[in-house]
Each structure stands twice: as structure tokens, then as C-alpha cells.
Chain A
Amino acid sequence: MPKRYVGKNIYKVDAQDKVTGKAIYPDDIYFDDMLYLKIKRATHPHAYLRRIDTSKAEKLPGVVKIITAADIPQVKNFGLIIKDQPVLVGIGQKMRYMGDALAIVIAESKEAASQAMGLIKVEVDKLEVISDPLRAMEKDAPLIHQDSNILATHYLKKGDIEKGFTQADIIVENEYRTSTLDHVPLQVETGVGIYDEESGVIKLWVATQWLHDTQADIAQSLGLSKEKIRIIQPVIGGAFGKKEDISVHLHLALAAMETKRPVKLTYTREESMIAQSKRHPFIIRMKTGVTNKGYLTACQVEVIGDTGAYASSGLAVVHKGMYHCTGPYNIDNVRGVAYTVYTNNTYCGAMRGFGTTQMAFAYESQMDILSCKLGIDPIQFRLQNAYDIGSTTPNGQRLTYSVGVKETIKEAANIAAWKEGRP
């Protein structure tokens, strides 16, 4: 970066547009003949769709068209890592969480679209709802997808775990659970789409975190080449990981192609809560060994990450969470296993920290409990175990520069006016 910016207070380039209300977010885009979409979603978290009757809704004045899976046989599943999410659930197919889309309602007004939603009749064959990942892992649990409910298993090994625990004078073993969390960016999922008949290009104005991955995923799902998908990034009203996954994009594209008119889809906050990705709740079983002098010798961890109904970035999040099981502390002997598990909960994906935030709750709690047992000041205990240049992480990465954890701990203690033993 040029030196003229370093150490200077630089105003954000778009701040002025934002304070005057001029900045254009996707929902701020209007076209004269624009249509409004609403998504009819699952009526049960785990069920086969037996029948969907849109006839009454279609007769409602203002309703232009209702798209169901039967209208789009060529469309394929989508997903960030694994293509396991249906664009629309079809007859005989499964809804796996309350956010699964069953139909796209296209209407002349938001109001007509909302009203039509209530007129769509859905019949389902219910299955056992699996909301607990531990239940999902049991042998007799019904399968949510075709294969095992355990989507992925990752392992971690460093040093000799048995030796590590033999060296330990104190061993602490605990189970930690973190909860599902919504990112709640202040703007919900929203966008506008247009289909240009001549060029066959679909233009989408959607706030998107991974523009090119999203473009590729939309293209493969619709069976089009990438050049036919143009995503234009308006100003984003917050994302925090939640806008990495596809949300309104495919439904907008399908509706635009169907009607040849501009279309807009904006989730309600409730819909955003139900349908769009979350932070993974983790179950973390952690066993940590320490010598009487307060040096960490071993860490064994088992992670169960509930990724909900679809993979999203779940495999990577849970995997990465496990890799951070020691936090910024030196431990020579580490063993871990991480399971990414399907359930019928709302799917989980990326959120600030990408798995490490959950893990921090476990290892920092262990550190406090251990320091208490040892009778060592928790700050001192952390400092004497913290990474330095030359430390090696559990997955074998040697840290060669920019290791600031000790300074950070000291400064934090300083700001908190920490005195020996207590804040």
C-alpha cells in the first residue's frame, strides 16, 4: 500500500453516499414493469412432498405465474462445496428444513404475492425430524440425504497423544456446546433480476460475498455458460458470511427467464432467519493435560458440528474449527476428530471466524479451569504457553513472523486493569 495512506485517517470512499441516503442497495432498485416474488417454503422440516396445489393462488388477481419444480426439470442442485441444495423441492422429493423452497410466486405487487402464498396447498408425508446431531449420528436414524448423516469426518494428529497425557500432572476433560447464531446483517437477502431475451443474459443485482463462485454455481444449476450470468454488486447491507451462500439468485433468474420482466425478491427478516445460513452449533469434547508447572502437554478434541440440512461451507468450517483446538497456545501432542453432521435444522455456513469462534469458547474455558486448578494466574498461565515465532500449530504450520499473541494478552490485561488473580 502506498505510504501516503499508512497512519492516516482515510474516509471511506462510499461514506458520503451512505450518509446522504444515495447509496443503492439491491432493494433500492426499481423498474417500471417490475414483478415481485415470494417463496413458498417447506411446511415441515423433514417430509416428502406429496402434492402441491397452486391453482387457487394462480387465480388471484395480480398473480402472474407460480413456478414449481415440475416447471424446471432441467435445473440442478446447487451448493458452495457440495451440490446438495434443491432450487425447488419437487413431488416425491424431500424437504429437509423449513427453509426449503417449494414454489416461486410471481405477482404484480408484493401484496398479491404475499396473499397468494396462503392459497397454495401443500400435502406432505412426514418423516422423523432430526434436530439433534447426536441423534443424526445414531445407526437407526433416518437418512437426511442419500448417504450417511455424517457428511464428513476429519482427523488431526500431532506428536504422541498418549505420551502427552502421561507427562501431564493435571488433566481436565469437559464438553462444551455453542448455539446456532444468525449473523443478522441489517439488510436481509434481496435482489433484482432481468433477463435479456436477445443475448440470453441474466443480470442479477444481488449483494453477494463470492461473486464468481456464485456466478459459476448459478450457471451450473441452470445449465448455462457463465457468460450468461452477470452479477452486479450493489452496496451490501452487511453480510458477515451470510451472503456467501446463494439466496435469492436462482429464484430471481428463473422468474426473470419465465416472465421476461424485471423481478425483485426480498426476504422478510423471519424468512432470513429460517432460510439462510447460520453459525454452526458445535459440541466440543476437550481433554487437556498440563504439568504442575503449568505447561500444556496434550489436547484431545472431538467436534460435532451441526451443519443443518445442507453442507454449505460446513465441511470447511467444522474442519477449521478443530484445527484451532489449541488456540494460540503451544501443545506438542494433539489428537482430534471432527464430524460435520446433517440434521433438519437450518443449514449452517460461514460466519465471522469460520469455526474458530466456537472453538475459542472451549479452549479458553479449559485454560481458565486449568489455571484455577493449578493456582496460577490465568494471564500468566496463558503467557507462558502462548505462541512465539517458531511455534508450530496443531496442523504443523511453523509460525515464522508476525506472532503478536503475547503482546495482545498483555495489552488486554492492561486495559482491563488486571491484577494478579482477578480483573
Chain B
Amino acid sequence: MQQRTIPCQYFAPQKIEEALGILFRYGNEIKVIAGGTDLLVQYYDRLYEINHWLDLKNIKELKDIRINKNQMEIGAMVTHTQLEVSEDIKKYFPILGQAAADIGSPQIRNRGTVGGNIVNASPAGDLLAPLMAYDAQFRLLSIQGEKIVTAEEFFIGPKKTILEPAQLLTQIILPLPSERTYGSWIKIGKRKALIIATITLALVVEMAEDHKTVKDVRTCLGSVAPTPIEIKEVKKKMVGKNFNQLDFAELGQIVEDKISPIDDIRGTREYRKDVAKKIMIKALEEIDSACGGGSYINE
């Protein structure tokens, strides 16, 4: 076939700088590809529309999970399988590993990457709520320089982010939490595998040194808004309190009231609101029993 006049190209550089140079040169005319698990679905039966590929597979430093002083740095090309099995992730960010384990299927987890999940920015991206709950920051790189942004700043709408065509997402930076940090991850979907979430909840609670008082809370949800969101009101209610003084039902109600999900094929607004409340209560109970925070007062 000769219908395409421009020569098609495929780049798989080994160095980030090289990749950034290519990206700068081609701008909108090139597609960055990581695992391809989102891209090849989006371009099913019309891959011919893409003339230039920039494959990040050979850039070794993007595949590392490493601890650097008081933070963890996860390379954008780290796969869901890597997240699932990493001992460091299990230790410091357990619910991120659990969320990764809930993605798709072995085939998808082996190829799909954290960077792809983030840049694809689906409201139902499973890693997004946990990342937000762990105060993730994203390192964006272009030949013009580096920019570090928070998850809140990065996501601006369904499948919309502030990433510019010449930028790569290279790293996810997570501050190492204190030992007194507990998390709960709940994904609701129609089946256990290969399912896009109807609703997800990532709840991370940090206790004070007395192991009783709540020091910090992040309540993040996916699939209930155009982007992953945090329910900040929960924090106000919880911080400074003893865990056994908390009214879980009330906190669940806050979550239900503060979200405004839509009806779609995966679930109705009403269903999502109802379930949000219930999974919030369940998550609080899980954390309660994990940290031994005392008895429930709402029983």
C-alpha cells in the first residue's frame, strides 16, 4: 500500500534525553507508547492513523521502584505486576499494590504501566485514587525542563491532563508514610477480573504517636467524578479524634453527600452514592481492626 506518503517510524530510545528530543521534534505527530493496553484498544482497526511511535520500553530507569531518602520513586514504566509483587510497595503503600492486583487480568497487568494509567486519565483508572491518597506527585519532563505536580493539579477532566505534547511523565513520587499509616482499598465492579470499576475507594489514615488519635486522613474515590477526587470534609471530621470516637455511618454519609456521580453503563448515580457510603464504612472498619483503634460506636 502506498497511500501513506510520509515514512512511518518507530523509535525505542534507551535514554530519557533521547526520548525527549524525539518528542520535541515530532510534538503532536508522535504517539508515546508504554504497555499499549489503552492505546491499542483506542486505535483498534485504525492503527494506520499513527505514523510515528515513541516506545519507552528500552529506558531502564523508567522501570525502577526505588527509595530515595524519605520518598519512593516509581518509574512511569513500572507495570501493574511489578507494583503487585514489590515488597517495598507492600510495606509502604499496600493499597497501591492491592489496586494494581485488581487491574484487568494477568495479561493486562504484565504490560500495563502506572504511567499509562495516569496519563490515560480515565475516571475509572484504578491506581489514581490510591496515588492521590498517598499524596503522589508526578515528575513531568521535557527538554525545556522538569515540572513536579500533584495529582490534583495533574487531572483536569475525563481523559484530560495538563501533560503537554513534548512532556513525558517519568516518575511518580510518594512521600514515605509513617509506620502508623493504615490503608484500605475497595473496588466495586460487576466481576472480579477484567472489569472497569463502578466505584473505587482508597482510604489512608495516619495515626498520631499515641496510636489512637487520627493525625491525617485522605479519602479518595474513583469513578464518581470526571477525575479522581478527595473528600476533604472527612478529614475535618476525623483529624484530632480518637478512632473509637468516630461515627462511621456519619462519615459514610459525608462521602455519599459530597459525590455527584453520573448514570452510566456501569451503574446509576443512586447506586454509586449508596455504595460509596457502604464501602466507606467498610473501609473504616478495616482500618479500625488493623490499627486496633477500639470498639465501634455505630454498632
The reply, when asked whether chain A contacts chain B directly with Cβ atoms under 8 A, is: yes
Task: Please report A residues at the B interface, Cβ cutoff 8 Å.
Answer: 60-62, 108-109, 111-112, 114-115, 268
B3 with A62: CB separation less than 8 A? yes
Distance in angstroms from B51 CB to nearest chain A CB is 13
A61 touches B48 (CB 8 A): no
| 20 A-B contact pairs sorted by A residue (CB < 8 Å) | A60-B3, A61-B1, A61-B2, A61-B3, A62-B1, A62-B3, A108-B1, A109-B1, A111-B1, A111-B48, A112-B1, A112-B3, A114-B45, A114-B46, A114-B48, A115-B3, A115-B46, A115-B48, A268-B44, A268-B45
Please give, as numbers and ranges, the residues of chain B lying within 8 Å of A268 by CB-CB distance: 44-45
Q: Find chain A residues with CB under 8 A from B3 CB.
A: 60-62, 112, 115
Q: Which of B2, B3, B44 has the most CB atoms of chain A within a 10 A radius of its CB?
A: B3
State in angstroms the CA–CA spacing of A108 and B3 once bound together. 13
Q: Which of B5-61 contact A (CB under 8 A)?
A: 44-46, 48
A62 to B45, CA, bound (A): 16
CB distance from A200 to the nearest CB of B (A): 32
User: How far is the CB of B190 from the nearest CB of chain A, in Å?
Assistant: 15
Inter-chain contacts of A114 with B (CB < 8 A): 45-46, 48
Least CB distance from B145 to A in Å reads: 40
A60 to B44, CA, bound (A): 20
Q: Which residues of B contact A109 (CB under 8 A)?
A: 1
Minimal beta-carbon separation of A65 from chain B (angstroms): 16
Task: Give the docked Cα–Cα distance between A109 and B47 (Å).
Answer: 14
Residue of A nearest to B1 (CB): A62
Report chain A residues within 8 Å CB of B2: 61
Of A62, A108, A115, chain B has the most CB atoms within 10 Å of the CB of A115
Q: What's the nearest-Cβ distance from chain A to residue B292, in Å?
A: 37
A108 CB contacts on chain B under 8 angstroms? 1
Extra inter-chain contacts (6) besides given A62-B1, A115-B3, A115-B48, CB under 8 Å: A61-B1, A108-B1, A111-B48, A112-B1, A268-B44, A268-B45
B183 nearest CB across to chain A (Å): 37
**Chain B, residue nearest A113 (CB):** B45
Complex: how many Å from CA A268 to CA B41?
A: 13
Tell me which residues across on chain A come within 8 A of B46, comparing CB atoms: 114-115
B136 to chain A, nearest CB (A): 35
Q: Considering the chains assembled together, what is the distance between the CA atoms of A111 and B1 in angstroms?
A: 9
CB distance from B210 to the nearest CB of A (A): 48
CA distance A170 to B117 in the complex (A): 58
- CB-nearest residue of chain A relative to B4? A61
Nearest neighbor of B46 in chain A, beta-carbon distance: A114
How far, in angstroms, from A109 to B45 measured CA to CA in the complex?
Answer: 12
Bound-state CA distance A114–B2 (Å) is 15
A278–B2 Cα distance when bound, in Å, is 40
Tell me which residues across on chain A come within 8 A of B44, comparing CB atoms: 268
Closest-CB distance, A96 to chain B (whole angstroms): 25
Q: Which residues of A contact B48 (CB under 8 A)?
A: 111, 114-115
